[in-house]
Structure 1
Amino acid sequence: MNSINILVPDLPESVMDATVAVWHKKIGDTIQRNDILVEIETDKLMLEIPAQKSGILEEIIEKEGAVVVSKQILGRLIYVNYDENNKDNLITDVQKQVIQSQEDNNETSGVKNSNFIQENKDPNVSLNQNKMIDEQCVHQDKFLDQTEILSALTKDRNETRIPMTRLRKRIAERLVEVKQNTAMLTTFNEVNMKPIIELRKKYAASFEQRHGVKLGFMSFYVKAVFESLKKFPEINASIDGEEIVYYNYFDISIAVSTDRGLVTPVLRNVDTMSMIDIEKNIKLIAMRSRDGKLLAEELDGGNFTISNGGIFGSLMSTPIINPPQSAILGMHVIKDRPMVVDQQIVILPMMYLALSYDHRLIDGRNSIGFLNTVKSMLEEPLRLWLGI
């Protein structure tokens, strides 16, 4: 039998360390090759660490919450050499040894704890002082009824404290950085979504049947943003020190809410994508985001972000820029509202648009022009296919 170290994998260059998030196996468990043993969390993503060989989990060195670095030992796995005739018996024997060793360690720890009070009764302290300590314990019993009453009164007023995840902490840091380091403003507009809604109703079934993916709203948003970025290159740019960096490619980040927090995977080279490509890629990154399967390179970069708070019912918001980007577009819930069209009041499905931008780089004229272009593209969706 040989012990195999369970190691932290090589972390991405921009990541210094990680936190042990959850062990999926306990000491003594039988492990099959490629079973997920433990997950570690960086400020960008979760990394799953699989078993390199089959065996038995012998030791957990770094428990949940520990901070670790590349190639650090997390635990050990016993690799069991066996033939099929003695496989079950041998594995059972090894498990018993591992579990017994763990129980022995726990018993040793328990003895230490049970001796703690006696060990802390200083022999140099007088008998009277030690007696006072014992009497204090007796006096505490007199207040037992009061304690029970107080406990009953406050039992529904408990607090739960849990440490922030690394991702949540990093999100918080970045939000503060944006507030401190940019001149962020937000401009608003509204868009009539009726043309897109009717288009989806007419073609949604045939689109899904032919391409195997639903025709959602997001592909329209992405296409409208791409066409608008072409017309307003200042928004497809960022500030780097005293320089302005203009990007000649179009990588759009899509904000996705997960149990761990908000992540922004990137759709790269949107200018080369059809509506079908966009829908398929959005479906893929949404699934990978929620399952914690995103790779570090899928989160790096991005020139502009789209955030769709409307899926949660948000009517209007001021989205915060995703640095080092210079702008972010917030989409919101679609609501029927009375609108005036040709001097007549009609009910239309309307949606508010919000563009937050860094005023150091983007002037009000360009921000408003960009938002108006997005609006016109969405209200005339045929233009998205025609590229006009």
Structure 2
Amino acid sequence: MAAAVESTEEEVVVPEVGESISEVVIGQWHKQEGDSVGRDEEIVELESEKATFEAPAPVAGVLRRILKQSGDTAQVGEVIALIERVPGGGGSAAPAASTPPAKSAPAKPPKAERAPAPKQPEPKQTGGAEPAVMPAAARLLAENDLDAGQVEATGPGGRLLKEDVLRHIAAPQRSTPPAPQKSAPPAPASKPAPAVTVRHTPVQNADAREERRPMTPLRRRIAARLVEAQKTAALLTTFNEADMSAIKQLRKEHGDAFEKRHGVRLGFMGFFVKAAVEALKSCPELNARIDGDELVYQNFYDIGIAIGIEGGLVVPVLRDADRLSFADIERSIEDFAGRARKGQLKVDEMMGGTFTISNGGIYGSLLSTPIVNPPQSGVLGMHTIQERPIALNGQVVIRPMMYLALTYDHRIVDGKGAVTFLKQIKQAIEEPARMLIEV
């Protein structure tokens, strides 16, 4: 008589998401132990050093055990959960309990099970819709007996951050008046105290004066890359400035028609991407990289665009930028920026890149020295546009000027090449028609 087929446990492992990513932080679990899951259903959020993504269930079944809780770190390939796969479940969602073995099957001793890992406390539900709660924020809510709906969420996509909860907790402390200071006993008449006015500043809870936060995977990656660039490359920065009058006039004359036709604004970045591509063609060493003892000259132009988000800086890449129109460039950058703030960029969209452009001007930066993104050999820094007096044809005139900075790897690029590159950027920006006729 044939024995009944027993259900088996399938491992949920951290998938490979990029050749340079070795670990992730466990985010929010969308399913809890005992919940049914369908094949390829997204069950947990994973935060890597470059992006946030979802991990799917490898099979349909029941989520029996969560081995890694929200906030834990896991290596790529590590098991983070176990799913009980029910025979005959196929690819659809499984029932909440496994099918018992047939009566005719020989009895087997029960399998000893480990105690399930403690579940992550969940914020209490309120009447209205609650924001998505990040793991650290969920822990603080549970520790302070708070509902997520009571706290104002300021994170990207309406997420509730740890900072939001801390701000909410600290608010009553700020509004509570400090306790009155006890007066000191009067000094003896024989030794009068000197007339010194002492101002007592009320000290709040010592814990509120200092806060420790674990570095996010993105921030750790940024720190490592910056240190790597400083240690491995011979970085040098050269500067110039560009008169933005011609581009501003072009945008004024054709901006409305451009937006009406293409559905996107005509920004400054399109001009700088086009100018950078033309300058890279003339100075190929700035589009090269070092590989061992060899210089690799790249005959394609994948331009990274630095975008600031709440957790740090991400650099999605415009592939084959030399083949893109102004509208293609502006649409791509707008799409990158929108998805970056929502944490929806894909890892492969931030891989590679032969040259980077960073615009610190949107934050008001007048001048800075950007850092090269290894293994690239150059990065162009844009800055804020400021009206300044300049000498032009023997006259002092007021023009909208922008400082430009080029940081380059001196192991690959000589000073002459760097200065020539930046000068060509300046000429292309001040005379945009040069980019159209390729001179």
Q: Is the CA contact 1:11–1:17 (under 8 Å) kept in the aligned structure 2?
A: no
Q: Is the CA contact 1:183–1:360 (under 8 Å) kept in the aligned structure 2?
A: yes
Q: Tell me which residue corresponds to 2:277.
A: 226
How many residues align? The count is: 332
Q: Tell me which residue corresponds to 2:204.
A: 154
Cα separation, 2, equivalents of 1:374 and 1:33: 52
Letter of the structure 2 residue corresponding to residue 171 of structure 1 = I
Q: Tell me which residue corresponds to 1:86.
A: none
Corresponding position: 1:193 with 2:241: no
Over the aligned positions, Cα root-mean-square deviation in angstroms equals: 3.3
Letter of the structure 2 residue corresponding to residue 355 of structure 1 = L
Stretches of structure 1 lacking an aligned partner (at least 5 in a row): 82-89, 95-102, 108-148
Q: Which residue among 188, 199, 207 is the counterpart of 2:258?
A: 207
Q: Tell me which residue corresponds to 1:329.
A: 380
Please list the CA deviations of residues 142-180 of structure 1 after superposition, one character each: whole Å capped at 9, or x if unmatched.
xxxxxxx9xx73327432111111221121112112112
Secondary structure of 1:354 counterpart:
strand
Q: Tell me which residue corresponds to 1:114.
A: none
Q: Is the CA contact 2:302–2:353 (under 8 Å) kept in the aligned structure 1?
A: yes
Q: Is the CA contact 2:65–2:116 (under 8 Å) kept in the aligned structure 1?
A: no
Shift of 1:104: 10
Percent sequence identity is 46
Shift of 1:33: 8.1
Cα separation, 1, equivalents of 2:326 and 2:117: 60
Cα separation, 2, equivalents of 1:167 and 1:104: 31
Q: Tell me which residue corresponds to 2:196.
A: none
Corresponding position: 1:305 with 2:368: no
Q: Which residue among 377, 386, 405 is the counterpart of 1:354?
A: 405
Which moved further from structure 2: 346-355 or 288-297? 288-297
Q: Tell me which residue corresponds to 1:9.
A: 15
Cα separation, 2, equivalents of 1:205 and 1:27: 55
Corresponding position: 1:296 with 2:347: yes
Alignment of 1:1-388 (within 5 A): 6-24=12-30, 36-50=42-56, 59-75=65-81, 153-155=203-205, 157-388=208-439
Letter of the structure 2 residue corresponding to residue 8 of structure 1 = V
Cα separation, 1, equivalents of 2:62 and 2:311: 30
What TM-score comes out, normalization by structure 1 length?
0.75
Cα separation, 1, equivalents of 2:319 and 2:361: 24
Shift of 1:207: 0.8
Letter of the structure 2 residue corresponding to residue 253 of structure 1 = G
Cα distance 1:27–1:160, how it changes in 2: closer, same or farther (>3 A)?
farther
Cα separation, 2, equivalents of 1:199 and 1:349: 14
Structure number having the greater helix percentage: 1
Q: Is the CA contact 2:371–2:379 (under 8 Å) kept in the aligned structure 1?
A: yes
Shift of 1:244: 1.2
Cα separation, 2, equivalents of 1:336 and 1:24: 52
Shift of 1:54: 8.6
Q: Is the CA contact 2:66–2:117 (under 8 Å) kept in the aligned structure 1?
A: no
Q: Is the CA contact 2:357–2:379 (under 8 Å) kept in the aligned structure 1?
A: yes
Shift of 1:282: 1.4
Shift of 1:296: 2.4
Cα separation, 1, equivalents of 2:433 and 2:117: 71
Cα separation, 2, equivalents of 1:106 and 1:278: 49
Letter of the structure 2 residue corresponding to residue 153 of structure 1 = V
Letter of the structure 1 residue corresponding to residue 50 of structure 2 = K
Cα separation, 1, equivalents of 2:310 and 2:32: 24
Which moved further from structure 2: 52-61 or 200-209? 52-61
